[in-house]
Structure 1
């Protein structure tokens, strides 16, 4: 929604470049629409151009010269201050996130609190070791390794976690001596701007953190092509991720891609079915299914299939759909009209392929929901692994049920996709657990827990086309955001 007449009572957010809030060189703004009420403009953000990218990259490059010279402890002190600023603003930022993206307010508060925890975790990383002493064949020499920052890191983030994902990329980049240029998703750019305010208030030196908002085709591509940006960390679709990777590779920049999944849950015949049902609903439908680790395929052994299905449908039909700011709401709208239409198109594809629609399948038409991007929680059965709805990432509240005879067959079906991000199994049998751990092609496997669960202190990333095979979060983050330097000293 590009606008020319800006409403005076709606906040307009600027770009943040070299320690200042500045308008874009294009002098264009874009409205961010409330997905719960498409008539409401939440805020206006800058629709920037390549000149803004150049300005931010230049500021980051200059700032990195001094930022990298600071001790890890000093950089950590800055991150602690950012965490404190973010903690003060949890309620405000969560409310903006809910109005801008649609997830429920409790989920938005939880995500913002997680951002605080991530900042404090990486603040502490400034005091950890960054190298090893290695024996030299020369007994008069000292040889060791250290780590050095990449330089300027371009951070390209999606709309589904507008606080947590930017922070889990920016915090390790900064603690290891890099400077940052953030390009948030345009749909949630005002939430990102509120996060950047916390960095500004914490007093980070000018140019260390920069934010430029605008379309991916311009700002994202500008980051990919810019010679001053040494590393790019991206979360988004696999189609766009491949463009990022190819562009970075062409000019020798380091890149890190997290590109979604088609995550299965296996329900074995010995599973606690009530636990499995609750976890499937939570993992698949919370945040309106708009998580890269969301449960999408539910693979159930035939001996318990009917009982599981009955329990699942009973609970899905009771879910309260509505505005995420309302206390009684369990699931909010899709994040945008484009996302709603995308989900509805997959539902139509499932019907066309011959899958049986058990519930949902339509846009909500109730009077109180008609102005929002609401889709009914949807469940299909009689789904085969070759169907599009069993192969492609829908990124919406759609579950497909697949019946199998054995856990071995379930594992074959679970692995029969191009993605490999997360997966879970429900079983009380230790042998089935071990087989699942060993044979499941996913970067994150969970036993008797929903697929959509990531802990900040643990490495996160996927296999196959879910990632570029690097890992984010935890201590593994140092591998991407630094390079190893080997030092040989002889007296």
Structure 2
């Protein structure tokens, strides 16, 4: 299977020119935009089988196909994104239903040919044609579809879940991405980066910079404003067949939100963070449509965009940049985080203190410092967001964990364990508990739960070991000279462990323990009148030692479902964890689907390399630390 995929990658290399030409003719994509996209597609095909081989080195795991995977890619990256989804699903041995965007179907057909001509059976990779409306009504709701890979609008993803609330959906959705420029930035460099981030592919990238947030000193710098606008106006706009042009036409005439953004200003003045009055937004550069082509638009820049306004909160997907003023970096971070999205974010600052503050506070999946916010490379900058920018488990495309979510995972032997370092009080408590339980089992105590408790002990050791080895620190898989590319895991927030009458002791204890190892806040939700051996153990001294500060809630399914919609952090739900898919009631699925909330319902595993993924989210940080090739103190 993996050899056949290598053949598909080779076919893409051979057909690079043809794919570039079709992308230009069908999608209006500039040649130099399509060329690296094909390289990314090849990387996807070759990396995903490699990532699975690495996971299969965990001898405790047995991977098998999930079944049927529906791949629904967008039109804006019509080569890389569909290829990545298809390659990930095929690498796991699944049958793939590949439904390209109607706006880019000829490219989808060419991609399918690359796989078919490499020997992938047409029964394993089926090319599907249908309008998007029929897609939601027919394909996504079909009970034989085991997983859906979707890239596109947030509302479309929510409609997919509305039709099939229990779908295993991996969706990379919209973004309202921002670049912050502080007074400590190299302003010439910032202009160069913003120019590319905002207007490459005519702003039709989910990663494109849509908001430019300037610290007050930069905002009031007339030279910076003049140079920024001059640079934007140098962009040549026109036919993709004229190779001097840097911007081509849109895929279609602007839809309602983009047209409103391109043609209208919001009236009225606003206030800044410190209460000072700010004027109404104005055109720094008014976009215009080519008289001969209604799809061809020139760049537009709005100046003085207000907090909470239409231009602040709305994803446009076009050549429109909204400029906002911030009083400080902290204020700028608040402006950026005030949107519901969290896909990409950029910072232009040479101050390492500002870089540290920003990377700790900004809510986005891909962070970029002193570089452009587009052009993520497989594994180097694994791609995917947070908030409304990611619906599903939030595992990033091109990451070490992406393909495995389309596998069934079973355990064939004891989990991986290894030496542990001294650590946090939580770790010390869990180690003490595990060792104490071992001693009790050696004395033939807990005979009635011996097997379950022994399995829990092994799982705690494995989760602690894998957290130390894989999940607790930052990793740079490439170590490029002049650029850091850091991959790290963050706790998902608050995990609600929901108990069910059929849950076993191991399934309950390891969910609580793993949540604590991941440094998440944990709460346990119990249905009314649940009284069995599991609840008895949790109420015992041993159970209380494990749960420590854990909050317990007794609530019906209906009461639990209502908590999805609350905005109160104390009662809201960041992630709901069940022990089996069949134990999740329809009521819970429907409530979560309305808001795009993810329910983790995989059977708990003893192997920490997989189990810990249920409580963590991924983040990539890319930092250009060189200064025009000079490495500074890093050279030392």
TM-score using structure 2 length: 0.61
Aligned to 1:345: 260
Give the superposition deviation at 1:218.
0.6
Q: Who wins on radius of gyration, i.e. which is larger?
A: 2
Aligned to 1:16: none
Whether the aligned pair in 1 keeps the contact of 2:343 and 2:386 (CA below 8 Å) is yes
The 1:116/1:478 distance shift into structure 2, 3 A limit, reads closer
The 1:229/1:441 distance shift into structure 2, 3 A limit, reads same
1:441-480 C-alpha deviation (Å, 9 max, x unpaired): 1011111112223121143211111111422222121342
Moved runs in structure 1, 4+ residues, more than 4 A?
351-354
Aligned to 1:49: none
The 1:132/1:385 distance shift into structure 2, 3 A limit, reads same
Cα distance in 1, alignment partners of residues 259 and 167 from structure 2: 38
Cα distance in 2, alignment partners of residues 449 and 120 from structure 1: 27
* 1:16-415 → structure 2 map (5 Å cutoff): 75-130=1-56, 132=58, 144-249=60-165, 252-305=166-219, 306=221, 307-339=223-255, 342-352=257-267, 354-365=280-291, 370-415=292-337
1:364-422 C-alpha deviation (Å, 9 max, x unpaired): 22xxxx13511110001011121101101000010011111210111111111010111
Cα distance in 1, alignment partners of residues 17 and 187 from structure 2: 36
SS at match of 2:116: helix
Cα distance in 2, alignment partners of residues 229 and 382 from structure 1: 47
Cα distance in 1, alignment partners of residues 132 and 361 from structure 2: 37
Cα distance in 2, alignment partners of residues 102 and 391 from structure 1: 27
**Equivalent residue pairs, number:** 399
Give the superposition deviation at 1:147.
2.6
SS at match of 1:129: helix
Cα distance in 2, alignment partners of residues 284 and 113 from structure 1: 22
SS at match of 1:474: coil
Higher RCO (CA < 8 A, seq sep 6+) = 1
Q: CA RMSD in A?
A: 1.8
Q: What stretches of structure 2 of length at least 5 have no aligned partner?
A: 269-279, 415-450, 452-636
The 1:372/1:89 distance shift into structure 2, 3 A limit, reads farther
Whether the aligned pair in 2 keeps the contact of 1:79 and 1:122 (CA below 8 Å) is no
SS at match of 2:307: coil
Aligned to 2:438: none
Cα distance in 1, alignment partners of residues 142 and 374 from structure 2: 34
Cα distance in 1, alignment partners of residues 31 and 53 from structure 2: 35
Give the superposition deviation at 1:235.
0.6
Q: What stretches of structure 1 of length at least 5 have no aligned partner?
A: 1-74, 134-143
Cα distance in 2, alignment partners of residues 236 and 192 from structure 1: 16
Give the superposition deviation at 1:338.
4.7
Cα distance in 2, alignment partners of residues 313 and 297 from structure 1: 15
Please, which of 318, 323, 346 is the counterpart of residue 424 of structure 1? 346
Aligned to 1:470: 394
The 1:221/1:279 distance shift into structure 2, 3 A limit, reads farther
Give the superposition deviation at 1:351.
4.7
Bigger shift: 110-119 or 343-352? Answer: 343-352
